[in-house]
């Protein structure tokens, strides 16, 4: 039963819509977002909370996010918890869409989706859809809310769409120009980082491939002044800024397509201490001679167990990626695997054998998600200080 007073049965009938997958699967629901048909790659996220951070994560550009938790919308949307300048997901799929009831809400999720021109389907059997994606793998899909596209045409459109493989989406979501992260912005964080900022005695240049704001906050909270540069900034231009360290951010789609970033990383290795997260981790993997491959259905959620092979400690981590580094492609004399995923043994962390560089596949900034890996920002600071 739908607990939201906003969506009565008459409105549901009037807003009938469906999702068509490339394998011919069609699931029916009703539209609660923008009245817009859309193509996207369909992935499921197992997080029980944090949909605002998910929707504002640029790494979800090009994707339809299916929330496995059934009740969505209760906490609404607010200005403190967003992770970027806008909503980036191509679409959103939920079981029940509820009215906002949190005192922190500045806007309802439905209003935010409509304002951002993002379609959303509710009333979908998200358990069934998740099982389809788990068994068959991530698929291309078509959300139809206009009523002008037949199910057969929707399936065809999904099949014919280019998808995300071989696509450079980092260039689509990056910032337009170089900017200094505002120190005042570091004071706002949904889970309460320290309010008193330490002295910014180190200067880090962060590549924006789709960077999340809480990564920038976390770097600043670790005593680093951050200059953010667009994805295609050359290594020479970065070095001209005289950074103490270079950071490679998260981002969407296929790391193999971001060739300019891989070349920049190769040039910067050994010249300045480096850290990478998510897409940045994969780019560094390519830079040291490795390769990436597509996971069957990716890692999307806040509950992925990762082991630090140095300490044997296990961290519960937040993740969002469809590609992973092929461990067999790595030269053990150049780079060491430092972390592995305990669900599927995929590579979760790298460390250069001789140069000041490390990277992780998961998100230590923890928005949304657990705070277990936050120590990695301190580790990065130590790496810079030693260098």
Q: Give the active site residues.
A: 278, 363, 365
What does the block give as tokens for 276?
Answer: 């990478």
Counting beta carbons within 10 angstroms of the beta carbon of residue 341, is it exposed (0 to 12), middle (13 to 18) or buried (19 or more)? buried
| Distance in angstroms (rounded) separating the CA atoms of residues 89 and 82 | 13
How many angstroms separate the CA atoms of 255 and 280, rounded? 9
DSSP-derived secondary structure for 95-150: SEE-----TT-SB-HHHHHHHTT--EEES--HHHHHHHHHHH--EEEEEE-SS-S-
Give the tokens for residue 330: 């790595």
User: 196 phi and psi, to 5 degrees?
Assistant: -90, 115
Per-residue burial over 213-243, b = 16 or more CB atoms within 10 Å of its CB, e = otherwise: bbbbbbbbbbbbbbebbbbebebeebeeeeb
Contacts of 32 (CB under 8 A, 6+ apart): 7, 15, 97, 110, 113, 120, 121, 122
CA atoms within 13 A on the CB side of 107: 15
Q: What's the full length of the chain, in residues?
A: 387
Cite the DSSP H helix spans in the chain. Answer: 9-14, 51-55, 109-115, 126-136, 151-160, 170-173, 213-221, 235-240, 259-268, 279-287, 375-386
Q: What residue has token string 């509710």?
A: 122
Strands 292-308 and 335-341: antiparallel
Tokens 């039963």 label which residue?
1
Q: Which residues pair with 316 in a beta bridge?
A: 305
The C-alpha angle with vertex 351 and arms to 350 and 353, in degrees rounded to 5, equals 135
């Amino acid at each position: 039963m739908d607990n939201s007073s906003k969506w009565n049965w008459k409105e549901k009938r009037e807003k009938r819509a469906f999702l068509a997958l490339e394998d011919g699967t069609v699931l029916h629901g009703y539209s609660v977002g923008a009245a817009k048909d859309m193509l996207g790659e369909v992935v499921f996220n197992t997080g029980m909370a944090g949909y605002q951070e998910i929707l504002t994560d640029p790494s979800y550009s090009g994707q339809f996010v299916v929330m496995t938790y059934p009740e969505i919308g209760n906490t609404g949307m607010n200005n403190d918890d967003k992770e970027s300048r806008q909503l980036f997901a191509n679409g959103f799929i939920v079981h029940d869409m509820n009215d906002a009831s949190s005192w922190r809400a500045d806007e309802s999720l439905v209003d935010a989706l409509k304002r951002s021109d993002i379609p959303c389907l509710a009333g979908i059997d998200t358990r069934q859809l998740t099982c389809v994606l788990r068994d068959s793998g991530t698929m291309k899909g078509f959300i139809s809310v206009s009523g002008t596209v037949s199910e057969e045409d929707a399936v065809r459109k999904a099949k014919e769409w280019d998808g995300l493989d071989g696509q450079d989406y980092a260039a689509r979501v990056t910032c337009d120009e170089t900017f200094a992260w505002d120190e005042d912005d570091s004071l706002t964080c949904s889970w309460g980082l320290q309010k008193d900022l330490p002295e910014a005695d180190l200067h880090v240049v962060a590549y924006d491939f789709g960077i999340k704001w809480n990564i920038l906050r976390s770097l600043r909270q670790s005593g680093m002044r951050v200059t953010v540069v667009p994805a295609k900034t050359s290594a020479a231009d970065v070095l001209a800024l005289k950074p103490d360290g270079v950071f490679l951010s998260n981002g969407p789609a296929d790391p193999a397509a971001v060739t300019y970033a891989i070349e920049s990383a190769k040039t910067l290795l050994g010249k300045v201490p480096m850290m990478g997260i998510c897409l940045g981790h994969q780019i560094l993997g390519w830079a040291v001679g490795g390769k990436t491959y597509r996971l069957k259905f990716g890692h999307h959620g806040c509950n992925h167990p990762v082991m630090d092979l140095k300490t044997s400690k296990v961290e519960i981590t937040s993740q969002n990626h469809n590609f992973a580094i092929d461990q067999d492609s790595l030269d053990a004399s150049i780079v060491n695997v430092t972390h592995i995923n305990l669900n599927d043994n995929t590579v979760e962390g790298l460390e250069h054998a001789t140069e000041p560089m490390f990277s992780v596949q998961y998100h230590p900034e923890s928005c949304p998600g657990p705070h277990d890996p936050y120590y990695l920002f301190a580790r990065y600071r130590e790496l810079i200080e030693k260098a």
